[in-house]
Chain A
Amino acid sequence: MKILLIEDEPELRKTVKQFLHNEGHVVESASDFRKAEDKAGSHDYDCVLVDITLPGGNGLEIIRQLKKNRSKAGVIIISAKNSLDDKVAGLELGADDYLTKPFHLSELNARIKSVNRRMNFEGSNEIIFAEITVNTDAQSVKVKTKNVDLTKKEYDLLLFFMSNRNRVITKESIAEHLWGDDMDMADSYDFIYSHIKNLRKKIMAEGGGDYIHTVYGAGYKFGEE
C-alpha cells in the first residue's frame, strides 16, 4: 500500500514511517503544509495520514484538496487535538477516520487496513489467515468451511489480531480498540483475557490452530509460531 504521512513532529514521523515500512507499505512523508500539498497533489496514494495542526496551514485543507481532485485515497486524521469540532469537520470533508494522539501503532495499523478495505469495493472483502477466513461484509468467520459463531467483541478482537499479525500487541491497545478511549478500568484486562480464552476455544473447537500466543510481560501475538 502507498501511504502519505503528514506529520510535523520529526520523532513521531520517523517512528510511524519506520513502522509502516516494516508492515510492508511504501511510505512518503511530509513535514509541513506546503510539502504535504505538493505531494498530495502530484501522486496517488492508497492512504493519507494527516495531522491537523501543521506549520504553514491546516491539515483539513489538504483533505479538502484531495477530495476536490477526486482522490481515491483513504484519509485518516491524526491529531493531538481531541476536539469534537475538528473531528466533525474532518469527517464531513470526507476523512474516513479520526485517531487521537497518542495512539497505539497496532490501532493505526488496524484503522489503515479497515479504511483500505472500505476503499476497495471491487477487491476482496475476505481476510484469510491459515484456515481462518473473515468476511468483513457479512462480519462472519469461518474455520476451514465451518462457520464460527462469535460475539461482536470476539469478532472485533479477531479482526484486530489478524490486522496485526506477528506483532506483539499490548493489553492496553486491545482494551482501547474494543472499548474506546473512555474505558479506563483495571477490570478490562481480566475481561480481555476471558474474551481471548473464548475466542481461542471457539476457533480450536472447529479445528483451527492456536494462533493467539501470550508474550509474557508484554501482551499477545497472533500468528503461526
Chain B
Amino acid sequence: MRLLFKTSFVYFITTALVFIGGGIIFYYNLQGILDEEVNEKLNVQKDRIEKYISEHDSVPALPYDHNAVDEIRPCVKPVNGYFADTVFYSKEEEEDLPYRMFIFSENIHGSNYLFRVSKPLFESDDLSETILGSFGIVALILLVVFLVLNYFISGKLWKPFFRTMQELKEFKLEGKRTIEPVKTSTKEFRQLNEALIAMTEKARNDFRNMKSFTENASHELQTPLSVILAETEQMLQTPSLNEEQLNSIQSINQTTRKLSRLNQSLLLLAKISNRQFEAGEKTDMSAVVNKKLDALQELITFKELDRRSEIAAEIKWPLHHVLAEVLVNNLLSNAIRHTETKGQLRITLANDKLVVANSGDPLSEPEKIFERFYKESSSSESTGLGLAIVKQICETCGLKAGYSYEAGMHTFAILH
C-alpha cells in the first residue's frame, strides 16, 4: 500500500470517528437546546395566560393557533406545573407527532382550572437524519478533497522522492551513471538525495579500489611467475639430473603454469567486471563460433565425438569481440573436456541463443555450475573459472546464461 494512501486512510478514519463522535455530541446538545427553547415558549404561554387572568379575572379562550393537545378544564386540586411529552396523531401528516406539554393549574374565582398547553417537538428522527445527512455530505466532500489532494501531492510533492527512488533502482555499482541531485524545496528529500549520492559514490569508489587492487595484484604476480617458470625451464636442461629431480622440477613448472593461468583468469574476471571491454560494434557470433570449432576440430576428432552443429549465419550480438571469443571458447572447451570419448556434442547458434550441449552423467550439484572454483572432479586440470567467466561476461553484457540437464545432455544456453 502506498505511503500516501496509508496516511490518507488513517486521516480519513480519524476524521470519520471525530465526525461520528461530534455528531452524537451535537445531536444531544442540539436536542437540549431545542428542549429548552420549547420549555421557554411554553413558559411564555403560561405567563401570558396568567397575565390574562390577572387582568380579566376570567377563563381565557384557547389561543388562535392552538392545537389538538391544548385544553382548559376545571379540576379539583391545584397542580404543580410540570412538563410532559406525548404523541399525537396528526391527520395532515398521517403519523404520530411528538408534543411537549406544560400542565399547570390556575385559580380563577376560587375554582381550579387545569391548563394544558403544548408545542410540537422537533422530531429526533428528523434531527438525527439532518445531522447525519449534513455530516455525511461534509465527510464525502472531505473524502473527495483527500483523493484530489493525494493525486496532486503524489504528482508534485512526492515527485523528487519517486525520482530518487527510480534512480536508485537503476543504479549499478559497476555502471557509470551517478545519482543526479534533485531540485526540491523539501528538506527531507534533499537530505535523502544527498545522503544517497554520498553513499553510492563511496560504494563505487570502494568497489573501484578493490577491483583495481585485484587487477594490479594479478598483474604484478605475472612477473615473479615468469621468473619461476623460466628458471625451472632452464633447470630442466641440466644434463646430470636424474628422473626424480626432473620430476620435481617439472612439477614446479607445471604448478607455476597453473598458478599463472589461474591468475590470468582472475585478472580477466576483474577486467570484465571493471567493464574494460565495452561493446563498440556488434560481433559476428557465427564467425567466432565457426572459428573456435575449427580450432577445436582436431580435439573433437581425437576424442571421436559425435558433433552436430547448426550455426546460423550472420548472427551479430552486441558484445566485445574478445569477450565473444572467450565466451565461446570456454563453453566449447568445457563441453569437450567433460565429454567422454565417443560422446555427443551439440552446438546451436540462432538469433537469440547459443546452445552448447554435451553428453555426460548428471552433476551432483548443478546449481553451483557457474560458481567460481566449482569443480565436479578434483582431479581436473581446469582452473574452475571457465564457466564463472562465462557467467560474468553474460552479466556484464546483458545476456542470460543457463544450465539444464535433459536426456543425458548437459545443456548450456546463452540467451540474447
Contacts and interface: CB of A to CB of B under 8 A. Distances in A.
B230 to A, nearest CB: 4
Interface residues of A, number: 41
A149 interface: no
A16 B333 contact: no
A15 B254 contact: no
Interface in A49-97: 80-82, 84
A184 B233 CA distance: 19
Contact of B227 (A11, A106, A194, A215): A11
A102 B229 contact: yes
A82 B223 contact: no
B173 interface: no
Given A102-B225, A184-B381, A217-B243, A82 B230 contact: no
A111 to B, nearest CB: 14
Contact of B236 (A12, A102, A168): A168
A105 interface: yes
Contacts of B222: 80, 101-102
Contacts of B149: none
Nearest to B262: A184
Interface in B245-264: 246-247, 249-250, 253-254, 256-257, 260-261, 264
Interface string B220-240: 001111111111011011000
A82 B237 contact: no
Interface in A17-43: 18-19, 22
Given A102-B225, A153-B298, A184-B383, A15 B250 contact: no
Interface in A94-119: 101-106
A101 B254 contact: no
A172 B237 CA distance: 16
A170 B298 contact: no
B303 A218 contact: no
B374 to A, nearest CB: 16
Nearest to B257: A172
B246 A82 contact: no
B337 A187 contact: yes
A185 B246 contact: no
B322 interface: yes
A104 B233 contact: yes
B278 to A, nearest CB: 12
B250 A191 contact: no
A104 B246 contact: no
Contacts of B322: 84
Contacts of A187: 299, 302-303, 336-337
Contacts of A18: 234
B62 interface: no
A222 to B, nearest CB: 13
Given A9-B227, A218-B247, A185 B381 contact: yes
Nearest to B298: A153
A150 to B, nearest CB: 13
Interface string A174-188: 000001011111111
B329 interface: yes
A200 interface: no
A216 interface: yes
A153 B244 CA distance: 31
Contact of A194 (B219, B244, B302, B333): B302
Nearest to A78: B226
Contacts of A215: 236, 246
Contacts of B38: none
B333 A12 contact: no
A219 interface: yes
A97 B234 CA distance: 23
Contacts of A202: none
Given A80-B219, A102-B222, A182-B329, A218 B249 contact: yes
A197 to B, nearest CB: 12
Interface string A211-225: 000011111000000
Contacts of B256: 102
Contact of B246 (A22, A103, A218): A218
Interface string A130-173: 00000000000000000000000100000000000001101011
B326 interface: yes
B303 A186 contact: no
Contacts of B336: 185, 187
B236 A170 contact: yes
B383 A170 contact: no
A104 B337 contact: no
A172 B382 contact: no
Task: With a 10 A CB-CB cut-off, give which of B229, B247, B260 has the most chain A CB atoms.
Answer: B229
Given A12-B230, A102-B229, A104-B233, A184 B253 contact: no
Contacts of B253: 170, 172
A127 B230 CA distance: 26
B363 interface: no
B103 interface: no
A179 B322 CA distance: 17
Nearest to A16: B230
Which 6 A-B pairs rank lowest in CB-CB distance, beginning with the nearest? A102-B226, A217-B247, A186-B381, A80-B222, A217-B246, A15-B230
Given A9-B227, A182-B329, A218-B247, 14 more contacts: A11-B231, A16-B230, A101-B223, A104-B233, A168-B246, A172-B257, A181-B264, A184-B382, A185-B336, A186-B380, A187-B299, A187-B337, A191-B298, A217-B243
6 contacts: A80-B222, A103-B229, A182-B333, A184-B381, A184-B386, A186-B337
